[in-house]
Structure 1
């Protein structure tokens, strides 16, 4: 009996449920050659510091720009300086901040067009026109420098004991490929932000050399012994299910034969009855098996393992 047969007479049929489309899966590439990941407790401490900085920076922008502003920390990453610079737009505002006792510089980055709209609000504009990416004039640079000095005050307050070295605003750069804030291989702690000033939203980043912050974080309590990494990885891979198949020797046929195939046709296979089948995993031959049975089901009886491609062709 169906659902419709159990409904009282006159009851409208229920609407057919439509499955909601699944959101696209977010895939993050992990480079095993450079496992620059932070321990969980270190990552959480830095996230809290950057989230505090975001709130302070938003409050500071609201006071200086005189427009309701909000800054949100969206992502925390560990990147080499080369990777960080490559992720930025070709033309953008990069404020290079010198750090006492350290050669690499911290970087505060944001679109120049967004900064120009901030300056317009500071000078009394209410609805600034859309501007293109360009360098700052001396007056605009002086106003943006003042905003960045206030932002660094918020950064020092938010990080507390994590940022003990003195940090000051240095120069401005407008080409991410030519800005030399650090060596290409230097690790940077990079936080991404959404900066909303009035109705305008812009993406910004703050990058701080890892050597400035990591010593204050101390040793990780959950650090894994490097000797255990391979064993743990091998144990995890051994528990991942894989598809195993038994394969006959392939037969070469002409395209005309394939196009003319019909029900009842017979394709001869060059596989002798006495020859075991190939055991394959993801197309790779890992052994040989004879056809057998397990109760009422077909089964493969393994007769050899670890065959190479050359052995497959000659066996």
Structure 2
């Protein structure tokens, strides 16, 4: 019976009470009876609706990041969309996977335990076909991948794992790392079949080909940080800016970036005639006096003053000061 009454049902109820046709004493007795709600011990509810919604929201970030990276790698339009985030038992998840399937077992450091990323084989073969120069339409009968095919698709899996790490960093600084690969779902037993897991399903479209990706994370892995999976915590993290872990990661990545550095000892102006008349041995006077500072450029930007010299058997400069924005504007 529906718990919400229509207006006509309310009017009929009030009319029955006024005429005495409805026994209000019996209504009170029914209301005083304890309300019993069925509980399935085989499928205990571990995740609230708010937590599942938060998990679904944070994977929208994964979709945007992963589809951009994969589009460049596969040279095709790639679209990834979250289909659902639900809680099931691990046994149900394993039984739902076809055999064979591409199953990647991953860690989520610093969280303890393993998770599973599953990509269905038809879209895997389409990806491999594109990676070797094909149109992505080659889909052989389901079979286990060869070592070469595993190596080819390994880069795509790493791209997905980086996307998961980036998305989860807004709530939990989890780093997804591959620790193993299986093709038979029965061999990917990371928790007991009765344990509850959160299952996030994605639809992957590559050109005209469509497939699915599944991320399965056991409740036991997430239990220590379950209080962070709320809409309030998620949106607070988005507005709070990068976490210290994210800042450290960004700084580490930037530390390995190569930047061109050049030193300008001086400058001179020549007309076209003088320039065309230059010959080996000619001297071009610079517009700086001996002992003056040289200018160190970072990329195209003037950054430092420096004194030229030598260090060992190499030419070198010693930084003497920073070029401030005002000075840079005036020059």
TM range (shorter): 0.5 to 0.7
Q: CA deviation at 1:117?
A: 1.2
Indicate if the aligned counterparts of 2:54 and 2:230 stay in contact, CA closer than 8 A: no
Give 1:124's match in structure 2, choosing from 120, 130, 133: 133
More helix by share: 2
Give 2:203's match in structure 1, choosing from 194, 207, 212: 194
Q: Secondary structure at the match of 1:57?
A: helix
Q: Deviations over 1:231-254 (max 9, x none)?
A: xxxxxxxxxxxxxxxxxxxxxxxx
Q: CA deviation at 1:93?
A: 1.0
CA distance in 2: counterparts of 1:221 and 1:126, whole angstroms:
42
Q: Are 1:166 and 2:175 an aligned pair? A: yes
Q: CA deviation at 1:133?
A: 1.2
Q: Are 1:48 and 2:57 an aligned pair? A: yes
Q: Are 1:97 and 2:106 an aligned pair? A: yes
Structure 1 201/102 Cα, relative in aligned 2: closer, same or farther at 3 Å? same
Q: Deviations over 1:3-37 (max 9, x none)?
A: xxxxxxxxxxxxxxxxxxxxxxxxxxx96333325
Give the corresponding residue for 2:158: 149
Which range moves more in the overlay, 112-121 or 127-136?
A: 127-136
Give the corresponding residue for 1:32: 40
CA distance in 2: counterparts of 1:165 and 1:87, whole angstroms:
26
Q: Secondary structure at the match of 2:187?
A: coil
CA distance in 2: counterparts of 1:128 and 1:64, whole angstroms:
17
Indicate if the aligned counterparts of 1:82 and 1:184 stay in contact, CA closer than 8 A: yes
Indicate if the aligned counterparts of 1:65 and 1:119 stay in contact, CA closer than 8 A: no
Q: Secondary structure at the match of 2:57?
A: helix
Q: CA deviation at 1:123?
A: 1.7
Structure 1 43/103 Cα, relative in aligned 2: closer, same or farther at 3 Å? closer
CA distance in 2: counterparts of 1:76 and 1:128, whole angstroms:
29
Q: Secondary structure at the match of 2:114?
A: strand
> Where does the alignment leave 5 or more consecutive residues of structure 1 unmatched?
1-29, 223-315
Q: CA deviation at 1:220?
A: 8.6
Q: CA RMSD in A?
A: 2.5
Q: Secondary structure at the match of 1:91?
A: coil
Q: Are 1:115 and 2:124 an aligned pair? A: yes
> Where does the alignment leave 5 or more consecutive residues of structure 2 unmatched?
1-37, 232-331
CA distance in 1: counterparts of 2:65 and 2:39, whole angstroms:
34
CA distance in 1: counterparts of 2:205 and 2:59, whole angstroms:
16
Q: Secondary structure at the match of 2:88?
A: strand
Indicate if the aligned counterparts of 2:55 and 2:229 stay in contact, CA closer than 8 A: no
Q: Are 1:79 and 2:88 an aligned pair? A: yes
Structure 1 159/39 Cα, relative in aligned 2: closer, same or farther at 3 Å? same
Q: CA deviation at 1:183?
A: 2.5
Structure 1 121/32 Cα, relative in aligned 2: closer, same or farther at 3 Å? same
Q: Are 1:207 and 2:216 an aligned pair? A: yes
Q: CA deviation at 1:101?
A: 5.5
Indicate if the aligned counterparts of 1:161 and 1:216 stay in contact, CA closer than 8 A: no
TM-score calculated relative to the size of structure 2: 0.53
Give the corresponding residue for 1:259: none
